[in-house]
Structure 1
């Protein structure tokens, strides 16, 4: 089920009224086109300030991610914008967050944003995984491993973001802020750096350089090589499925990046076998 983008003014009157009951009179609404997982992605201005809205129709297959974000927000406000309200009306489910005035992270080689992203990931690694309903990493990836037993390698008790699209990382002068927590997961602590590596390669890093960025994180240092190899294989299979037979520019770039990393990992694995 595709995500169809709508403007705030096109929402039904009942949900706009429910939002205004939380925010006060809305002076201006601006659609933000960067969102990939939300039908509504907008910044509204009120007499008291700005609010970021994201939402889906209640019948959408991903609407459960809205509740997931609401549930996890109290545990991650050190890194994420604070949730102000969650309303449903007339077939719509809307979250309202404090608005962050920042730019999307630049993952390209040499970017000054990279140290801030690493700091945020390090902080995330120090947050205990809350006792709420979360997806399990081994279950999410079970359909993409070549050997079913490999999915066990992804188990763990760490809180993971998992969606390191640079549009989900807002950079301010002070820090990196993580948004879009709908796919938060419980699993092995090294998985978030592993997810990030693919985005780094897509942004122009070589696989070796991308791994050197992740090496600044203690969670990555502790990653067992066979488990990382299995994740690289699963990720390549996943992105091939997402891209399909006619990938667009974005999915094609991610499919290529995951394939590059897998090729790098397979070369490294061969070297490890020859030089134990």
Structure 2
């Protein structure tokens, strides 16, 4: 479930931020994203910083450590982490501010090649020796053969369009909370469902996935299994949900699985 976002940053939080960023002259709360209690652009006389934070008792506070640990390994395709504050019951991360628009995955979008390029670069990064969940562990409740998703690649896994910022001629990836260790083809396979949701046919979506070399090296049986497992994932997410985007993603996952496993013709 999404985390409730604070509409105002408490004064004590601003005081904590000022210990690292300097005097705050303006704040801008941001609407994008689902997992932070604080998500804001902080303006100081010297710089602009993006701050995201959770209370230390929040059920997802572990995502703060995950993002902090991953950041040194994804420089160049993610905003740099400038500082982390753990005090007064809060866990706060300050990132370099990146100006850009959220990626448009629709057919014909000029953003698509930029996303594919960033995904290709990410698929070449070996998972570092930090605490990460593995894709087999994450997917074990959704398939009988989760070992097919094993690998040593650093996988982002959350290709919600708001997690991809288009800045000029490149794509920058944010929100690394669900980063995992897995097969190099996991990210392009995950992207396929978002592309279908954005208006692509399954064949068109897979053509974009094929821009990433790791996808082309993946055994078809692995991708088939992932497609079916993805339906199970979205069925779990959609259980009891009425959010239109969640139900649309479930439909997109089912559309992809049906494409990979067409009904027999008698």
Q: TM bucket by the smaller chain?
A: over 0.9
Corresponding position: 1:239 with 2:234: yes
Matches within 5 A, 1:8-47: 8-9=8-9, 11=10, 13=12, 15-47=13-45
Partner of 1:61: 59
Residue in structure 1 matched with residue 175 of structure 2 by the alignment: 180
Q: Which residue of 1 aligns with 2:46?
A: 48
**Contact map agreement 2:127 2:152 (CA 8 A) in 1:** yes
SS at match of 1:189: coil
Structure 2 match to 1:120: 118
| Rounded Cα–Cα distance in structure 2 between residues aligned with 1:12 and 1:198 | 41
Hey, what does 1:94 align to over in structure 2? 92
Residues 157 and 186, structure 2, Cα contact 8 Å, conserved in 1: yes
The yes-or-no answer on 1:200 pairing with 2:195 is yes
Aligned CA-pair RMSD = 1.5
Count of paired positions: 265
Structure 1 alignment gaps of length 5 or more: 272-276
What pairs with 1:185-264 in structure 2 (closer than 5 Å)?
185-264=180-259
Scaled by the length of structure 2, what TM-score is found?
A: 0.96
2:158 is matched with which residue? 163
Question: What SS does structure 1 have at the residue aligned with 2:189?
Answer: helix
Aligned to 1:5: 5
Cα distance in 2 between the residues matched to 1:141 and 1:246: 21
Deviation of 1:246 (Å) = 3.7
**Contact 2:64–2:93, Cα closer than 8 Å, also in 1:** yes
* Cα shift readout 1:36-79 (whole Å, capped 9, x = no counterpart): 11111111111012100111111111110100100110110110
Give the distance between the partners of 1:128 and 1:89, measured in 2 at CA: 32
Q: Alpha-carbon deviations, 1:215-241, whole Å to 9, x = none?
A: 111100011111111111111011011
> Are the counterparts in 1 of residues 2 and 34 from structure 2 also a CA contact under 8 Å?
no
- Measure, in 1, the Cα distance between the counterparts of 2:216 and 2:206: 10
TM-score, normalised on structure 1?
Answer: 0.93
Question: Which whole-Å CA distance do the structure 2 matches of 1:57 and 1:246 have between them?
Answer: 25
Moved over 6 A (4+): none
Task: Tell me the SS of whatever aligns to 2:40.
Answer: strand
| Equivalent-residue separation in structure 2 for 1:260 and 1:73 (angstroms) | 34
| CA distance in structure 2 between the partners assigned to 1:39 and 1:260 by the alignment | 34
Q: Is the 8 A contact 1:193 1:214 kept in 2?
A: yes
Of stretches 222-231 and 133-142 in structure 1, the one that deviates more from structure 2 is 222-231
Compute the displacement of 1:134 (Å).
Answer: 0.8
Q: Is the 8 A contact 1:8 1:42 kept in 2?
A: no
Q: Cα–Cα, structure 1 residues 52 and 8, in superposed 2: closer, same or farther, change >3 Å?
A: farther
Deviation at 1:245, TM superposition (A): 3.3
Counterparts of 2:124 and 2:227, CA distance in 1: 24
Q: How far is 1:8 from its partner? A: 4.4
